[in-house]
């Protein structure tokens, strides 16, 4: 079987890979280094489907399914979740390679269709248990709750990922490394993730007989619900058969209300990512005795002393059907400002990932810090926090400095000019706001 190079991904394959409609012949590689970065190459298709969903949703309902504040937060979470890849290879792949190199007991052929299909089932089975444990173990829920924190359900929600999720998920795939080559695993770990993008939509209702086998938008809507019948259900990635086999399946019934059982009501990205760790630490400290402390960590999020391992959901707020998603009013001017700076950041973000192998570790740390600072500031602007004037002034000055020193280097001269001018005007605007609010606090949340 001929080995494809990363650049060989065609437009047709790019569209099909979002739905796992690829063959073993076109996605088998002898070496893990030859496996394309399918997730990165899918970015234009993500954007295209997002725009299509917005347009079709507007035609069907007359309303926009996408909220700027929520969508920006979801995209920000997705961007942050990839930042560790600037410094280290994915833990899932690197740990897998280590076990394969040192402990494999059988070497299945990388170019066999049987190996490909076995890996398809193995990765999806592993994902089911990763996902289930992420809901049933409080320490893992601290990472996974990020993905459930949106009170909306659209394709942008699929991108709302945790920066710490892969710190534990790698363990669940290691048994495969005893016999399945890393190059085959590296293909399926990406396609399993890509498949889950398109199921985050309300526009597709029912897929008929496919509902029995595949994870579908209907099944995944249930998973994202905070209705009592939705909690701890439908963990599947590509296939729903694991849920049917292990008793965690629930069909879509009453209208699903999305989000966490206790909404966090903020768009501040660092809080979205890490607030549950703070809560978990407080629960751990306040628990009496080592047994209760360990239970706080390793039992379910709803667990309390005297309750079953996963809790009995007595304290889960009842759904009335009248719930309104958190959507504070903010001016069109601020919305335009956030849009503009977010688009500028996207250019920087893509440039950093495109050139990461040519940049020093110091430069990568500096740029990662700038990306985090920018996303944090934009979240504070959306939340309209008092401290945002001081933070955003400092960020804009930092941005101008990075541009002047050549760290931020937009390709087009017009874009470079816009960065300098817009950054300077932004810094001036927020500096004036500081003068108007001399007693502003320094904390954002």
C-alpha dihedral sign at 251, 252, 258, 262:
negative
The answer to the question of residue 302 being in a domain is: no
- The pLDDT of residue 413 is 57
Cα distance between residue 155 and residue 51, in whole Å: 10
Last residue of a domain, one of 203, 227, 246: 246
Paired tokens of 89:
């290879």
The answer to the question of residue 277 being in a domain is: no
Q: What is the mean pLDDT of residues 358-374?
A: 94
Q: What is the mean pLDDT of residues 107-132?
A: 98
Give the residue, 445 or 274, on which the prediction is more confident.
274
Give the residue, 172 or 437, on which the prediction is more confident.
172
Domain enclosing residue 386, as ranges = 332-436
pLDDT digits (tens, 9 = 90+) for 327-364: 999 999 999 999 999 999 998 898 898 888 898 999 99
Paired tokens of 321:
């059907």
- The pLDDT of residue 354 is 86
pLDDT digits (tens, 9 = 90+) for 27-44: 999 999 999 989 988 988
The answer to the question of residue 426 being in a domain is: yes
Long-range pairs for 94-103: beta carbons < 8 A, 24 or more residues apart: 95/170, 95/171, 95/174, 96/170, 96/173, 96/174, 96/176, 96/177, 96/182, 96/185, 96/186, 97/32, 97/177, 97/182, 99/174, 99/177, 99/178, 100/177, 100/178, 100/181, 100/182, 103/177, 103/178
Last residue of a domain, one of 194, 219, 246: 246
The verdict on 123 and 230 lying in the same domain is yes
Paired tokens of 406:
């050549």
Which range among 174-183, 247-256, 281-290, 428-437 shows the weakest confidence by mean pLDDT? 428-437
The verdict on 342 and 227 lying in the same domain is no
Say what percent of the chain tops pLDDT 70: 94
The answer to the question of residue 286 being in a domain is: no
The verdict on 339 and 229 lying in the same domain is no
Cα distance between residue 315 and residue 323, in whole Å: 17
CA proximity to 160, closest of 175, 149, 171, 151 = 149
The verdict on 58 and 197 lying in the same domain is yes
- The pLDDT of residue 408 is 80
- The pLDDT of residue 438 is 56
The answer to the question of residue 112 being in a domain is: yes
Cα distance between residue 387 and residue 374, in whole Å: 14
- The pLDDT of residue 422 is 81
The verdict on 239 and 336 lying in the same domain is no
- The pLDDT of residue 6 is 42
Residue 9 pLDDT greater than 70, yes or no? no
144 within 8 A of 259, measured Cβ to Cβ: no
The answer to the question of residue 323 being in a domain is: no
Mean pLDDT (the chain, rounded) = 90
Residue 165 pLDDT greater than 80, yes or no? yes
Q: What is the mean pLDDT of residues 169-176?
A: 95
Last residue of a domain, one of 211, 246, 281: 246
Cα distance between residue 143 and residue 194, in whole Å: 20
The answer to the question of residue 299 being in a domain is: no
- The pLDDT of residue 442 is 45
- Report residue 424's pLDDT band, with 50, 70 and 90 as the boundaries: confident
- Report residue 90's pLDDT band, with 50, 70 and 90 as the boundaries: confident
How many domains would you assign to the chain?
Answer: 2
Paired tokens of 187:
């293909």
pLDDT digits (tens, 9 = 90+) for 220-247: 999 999 999 999 999 999 999 999 999 9
Cα distance between residue 169 and residue 54, in whole Å: 32
- Report residue 7's pLDDT band, with 50, 70 and 90 as the boundaries: very low
Q: What's the Cα-to-Cα distance from 284 to each of 118, 135, 297, rounded to whole Å? A: 41, 18, 7
The answer to the question of residue 351 being in a domain is: yes
């Amino acid at each position: 079987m001929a080995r494809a190079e990363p650049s060989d991904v065609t437009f047709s394959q790019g569209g099909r890979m979002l739905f796992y409609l690829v063959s073993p012949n076109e996605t088998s590689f002898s070496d893990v280094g030859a496996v394309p970065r399918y997730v990165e190459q899918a970015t234009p298709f993500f954007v295209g489907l997002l725009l299509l969903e917005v347009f079709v949703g507007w035609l069907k309902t007359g309303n926009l399914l996408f909220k700027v504040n929520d969508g920006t937060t979801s995209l920000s979470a997705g961007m942050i979740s990839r930042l560790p890849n600037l410094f280290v290879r994915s833990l899932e792949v690197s740990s897998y390679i280590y076990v394969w190199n040192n402990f494999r007991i059988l070497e299945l052929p990388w170019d066999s269709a049987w190996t490909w299909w076995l890996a398809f089932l193995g990765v999806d089975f592993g994902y089911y248990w990763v996902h289930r444990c992420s809901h049933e173990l409080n320490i893992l829920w601290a990472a996974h709750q990020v993905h459930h924190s949106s009170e909306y359900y659209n394709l942008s929600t699929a991108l709302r990922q945790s920066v710490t999720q892969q710190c534990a998920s790698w363990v669940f795939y290691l048994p495969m490394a005893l016999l399945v080559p890393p190059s085959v695993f590296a293909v399926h770990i990406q396609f399993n993730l890509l498949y889950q993008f398109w199921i985050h939509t309300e526009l597709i209702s029912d897929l008929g007989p496919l509902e029995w086998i595949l994870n579908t938008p209907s099944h995944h809507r249930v998973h994202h619900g905070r209705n009592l019948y939705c909690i701890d259900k439908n963990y599947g990635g590509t296939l729903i058969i694991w849920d049917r086999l292990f008793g965690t399946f629930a069909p879509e019934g009453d209208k699903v209300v999305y989000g966490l059982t206790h909404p966090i009501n903020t768009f501040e990205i660092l809080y979205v990512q890490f607030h549950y760790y703070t809560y978990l630490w407080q629960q751990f400290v306040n628990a009496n005795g080592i047994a209760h402390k360990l239970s706080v960590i390793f039992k379910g999020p709803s667990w309390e002393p005297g309750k079953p391992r996963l809790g009995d959901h007595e304290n889960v707020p009842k759904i009335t059907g009248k719930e309104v998603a958190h959507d504070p009013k903010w001016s069109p001017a601020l919305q335009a400002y956030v849009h503009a700076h977010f688009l500028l950041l996207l250019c920087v973000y893509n440039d950093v990932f495109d050139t990461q192998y040519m940049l020093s570790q110091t430069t990568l740390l500096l740029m990662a810090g700038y990306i985090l600072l920018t996303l944090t500031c934009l979240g504070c602007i959306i939340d309209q926090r008092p401290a945002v004037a001081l933070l955003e002034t400092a960020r804009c000055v930092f941005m101008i400095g990075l541009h002047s020193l050549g760290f931020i280097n937009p390709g087009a001269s017009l874009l470079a000019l816009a960065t300098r001018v817009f950054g300077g005007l932004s810094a001036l605007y927020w500096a004036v706001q500081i003068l108007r609010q001399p007693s502003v606090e320094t904390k954002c949340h």
